[in-house]
Amino acid sequence: MQDISKNIIIHASEGDLNAFESIYNAVSGFVYSIAYKMTYSREDAQEITQDVFLKIYKNLKWFRFQSSFTTWVYRITVNVAINFSKRRAREQEKMITYKDDVKLKTAAIAKEEKTHKAGNEEILGSLLAILNPDQRACMILRNIEGLSYKEIAKTLKININTVRTRLKRAREKILDNFQKRGGKQ
């Protein structure tokens, strides 16, 4: 690290940007080196270096030459790096907690959906079971597969009016069964 004259420090503390640039040029490598040794990450060291120089810029007017400038910059760098590392650890902990929560919620939703789907399949199975095979085929093709009446007729090789009749009778049978059970499944 280069020596910095007291005059440059005083001028920088009074707002002289050229003097502050001289300070930056003299100590930025030193600051980055310390930050890198504390984090072992180039990106983090760069971010810490920026934070350190913001802190130096804001607090330079309070520097009273009671210690060397190098010691003062070193102390700021170490404190910023420690705070940065603590903040990063908290963020990572929150991220891990968040990911765990997401996994648990996703698993719970999947289980609920599976249970719901199984329940729906059971209801659907019991409703389809009361129909004769011809009616069941028409209901499945229309309501589950989404085929048109014409497509059902073509698939089953029957008249379109037969499709209509089978679907009507299937719906009536399901509704009648539903009403006999008191409207409950």
Contact of 34 with 81, CB cutoff 8 Å: yes
Q: Is the pLDDT of residue 9 over 60?
A: yes
Predicted pLDDT at 111: 66
Q: Is the pLDDT of residue 122 over 90?
A: no
Instruction: Provide the b/e sequence for 116-125 (b: ≥16 CB within 10 Å).
Output: eeeeeeeeee
Predicted pLDDT at 56: 93
DSSP string, the chain: -----HHHHHHHHTT-HHHHHHHHHHHHHHHHHHHHHHH--HHHHHHHHHHHHHHHHHHGGG--SSS-HHHHHHHHHHHHHHHHHHHHHHHHHHHHHHHHHHHHHHHHHHHHHHHHHHHHHHHHHHHHHTS-HHHHHHHIIIIIS---HHHHHHHHT--HHHHHHHHHHHHHHHHHHHHHTTS--
Contact of 80 with 55, CB cutoff 8 Å: yes
Q: Is the pLDDT of residue 185 over 60?
A: no
Choose the weakest-confidence range: 17-21, 103-107, 143-147: 103-107
- Cα 98 to Cα 40, 93, 105: the distances in Å are 26, 8, 10
Q: 């648990």: which residue's tokens? A: 104
* Average pLDDT estimate for 3-28: 89
Q: Is the pLDDT of residue 167 over 90?
A: no
Predicted pLDDT at 110: 64
Domains of the chain: 6-95 (1.10.1740.10), 130-180 (1.10.10.10)
Predicted pLDDT at 89: 80
* Residue 23: closest CA among 73, 78, 76, 68: 73
Tokens of 67: 């210690």
Predicted pLDDT at 146: 85
Q: Is the pLDDT of residue 184 over 60?
A: no
Share of the chain above pLDDT 70, in %: 82
DSSP string, 11-52: HHHTT-HHHHHHHHHHHHHHHHHHHHHHH--HHHHHHHHHHH
| Per-residue pLDDT reduced to its tens digit, 37-94 | 888 889 999 999 999 999 999 998 888 888 888 889 988 988 898 888 888 888 877 7
| Per-residue pLDDT reduced to its tens digit, 141-160 | 788 778 898 988 887 888 99
Confidence of residue 118 (pLDDT cuts 50, 70, 90): low
